[in-house]
Chains A and B, each alone.
Chain A
Amino acid sequence: MKLTKDEVEHIAKLARLTLTDDEIEKFGEQLSGILNKAKMLEEIDTTGVEPIAQITGLRNVTFADEIEPSDLAEKLLAQSPMPIQDHMIKVKNIF
């Protein structure tokens, strides 16, 4: 399989990336190569196998939901490269 230019552009849009024409060609080729390699997993019979997401088997880990003082709010807001207005980050127009 080889990804088409349209497919690469579509993935880039989903991923919120703007790619140059050179990048579309280069990544298209490289991603196709990697995906072709991944096709070899079809050789393995995985009927009835549960997929793994948590490798040590922990489930439903919780901690006490308690209110604690925190001085992080101002520090986190100060991280934004956007203007701050009334304790909020002011972003550009949505449309």
Chain B
Amino acid sequence: MTEFTISQAKAALKAKMISATDLTQAYLDRIAETDGKLHSYITVTPDVALKQAKEIDKKSDFSGILAGIPMNLKDVVCTAGIRTTACSKILENFVPPYNAHIYDRLLAAGSILLGKTNTDEFTMGSSSENSYFGVTHNPWNLDYVAGGSSGGPAASVSADQCVFSIGTDTGGSIRQPASLCSTVGLKVTYGRVPRYGCIPYASSFDTIGPFTKTVEDAALVLQAIAGKSEKDGTTPDIPVPDYSTFLKKDLKGVTLGVPKEYFAEGVDPEVSQSILDAIEVMKKLGAKIIDVSLPLTKYAIPTYYILVKSEGSTNMARYDGIKYGHTTDFAKELEEIYMKSRSEGFGDEVKRTIMLGTYALSAGYFDAFYLKAAKVRALIKKEFEDAFEKCDALITPTSPTPTFKIGEKSDDPMAMYMCDVMTTPINLAGVCGMSVPAGFSKLNLPIGMQIIAGQYKEGNLFHVGHAYEQATEWHKRKPKV
């Protein structure tokens, strides 16, 4: 039963074929059996999960959107009374005093918390190798990375260690690992899901969204978590549509744009071919295909990294060794507490973030780096707006290559940053995107297709993604763990 999608599990629960407790126990067993190989989970919460499950069984009310559905949260989503580490030494023993708003919404919808899953430290990375607790292995081949930063969420959904998971995406951290592990991964429009209580990386980019086994499931989870929140001033007062109405079987009347820059040099030919094949499938489903051009694409990586590292450096300033988290044992006076606690508590990529951001924001360099990048961001946003005048969604690969071997890029930050070349432009423009399974390489490693739509047009992603999924079998393949 661990292979269930949300809709299958809901049907079985409603028909009383299984109880929420049985289902929860099945996942806890599956985690115990497989997580020694994968390392998706940082903390497993069997007591919390079984208590929540028993309460739901007792009420016997499965009307909630996610009632009785076991899931996990990336370990940057605060859970009151449950350790939340951001996979950093500096928060190794941090137990939040309150819940992230998204966790409250998931509980209100009836879902069950199995545990907290792995990420690069403070979500800074593309392979989960930057986690203080160690890398997550790809369920399709344990020698390869699960991607990042949400490597734990992606591997846990791919390997049936949960029904769905919640990750965060600042520059690709949901879509890239979803692509590398063959799951659906949704990056929502900036502000669509409230971030209150989610440990931040870059506040003008961070988004929260689901990893699921099908597009329909992604629509269900978004239905439960989207919408304005009094606790997050970046969530707009825009109504949340009924996403199920977008789940159609054909693409008649839909125009899809194919940006040539996403099929250029540097993209693995096996990846390009899989996406071109997918485009043929969508053409047969009735979509009109047009060529579009996004010439600023090649500037996305430097623009993104200047802005994100700047914002990241300011967000990391709160870790002072005084208010909470790790503090040094070796300080005699105040400034030493800051310097030593931070140097002991942060890993290499976080230190690089802080250094690069501090430099880009410092007097004399602010105009040349930060301000310049913030202007280029405006141009990139405009470029996407213009493209969406002509089409309903854009189709690209999610990642330029399938997954790579553990250790292959960990000493070369620039090579690691280039993993995000196709996902960062979407965060720069604040639009939404989703990765869906679209094939396998000759080495049997997953390939993902990225669907991109304008701000608050998540419905378009579900329409295109669902129709494609119904016409293909990729999402039904499972790794053997």
Whether chain B is bound by chain A comes out as: yes
* Residue A72 interfacial (CB < 8 Å): yes
* Residue A80 interfacial (CB < 8 Å): yes
Q: Mark B315-335, 1 if CB is under 8 A from A, else 0.
A: 001001111111100011111
> Contacts of A37 on B, CB cut-off 8 Å?
301-302, 414
8 Å CB contact of B369 from A14, A38, A46, A82:
A38
Instruction: Tell whether, in the assembled complex, residue A40 and residue B189 are in contact, meaning their CB atoms are under 8 Å apart.
Output: no
> Contacts of B191 on A, CB cut-off 8 Å?
56, 58
Nearest Cβ on chain B to A75's Cβ, whole angstroms: 4
* Residue B223 interfacial (CB < 8 Å): no
**With the chains together, A66 CA to B305 CA distance in Å?**
39
**With the chains together, A53 CA to B414 CA distance in Å?**
25
Total residues of chain B contacting the partner, CB 8 A: 68
> Contacts of A63 on B, CB cut-off 8 Å?
230, 233
Instruction: Tell whether, in the assembled complex, residue B375 and residue A93 are in contact, meaning their CB atoms are under 8 Å apart.
Output: no
Q: Tell me the total A-B contact number using a CB cutoff of 8 A.
A: 161
**With the chains together, A35 CA to B372 CA distance in Å?**
13
* Residue B405 interfacial (CB < 8 Å): no
**With the chains together, A72 CA to B96 CA distance in Å?**
11
- Given known A37-B301, A94-B333, contact A17–B342 (CB-CB < 8 A): yes
**With the chains together, A52 CA to B383 CA distance in Å?**
14
- Given known A17-B351, A51-B377, contact A94–B323 (CB-CB < 8 A): no
Instruction: Tell whether, in the assembled complex, residue B334 and residue A94 are in contact, meaning their CB atoms are under 8 Å apart.
Output: yes
> Contacts of A31 on B, CB cut-off 8 Å?
352, 355-356, 359
**With the chains together, A52 CA to B457 CA distance in Å?**
21
Instruction: Tell whether, in the assembled complex, residue B324 and residue A80 are in contact, meaning their CB atoms are under 8 Å apart.
Output: yes
Further contacts, 17 of them, CB under 8 A, given A19-B343, A31-B355? A15-B358, A16-B335, A17-B346, A30-B352, A30-B414, A31-B352, A33-B414, A37-B301, A41-B372, A41-B376, A46-B372, A51-B374, A55-B428, A58-B233, A72-B97, A75-B97, A81-B326
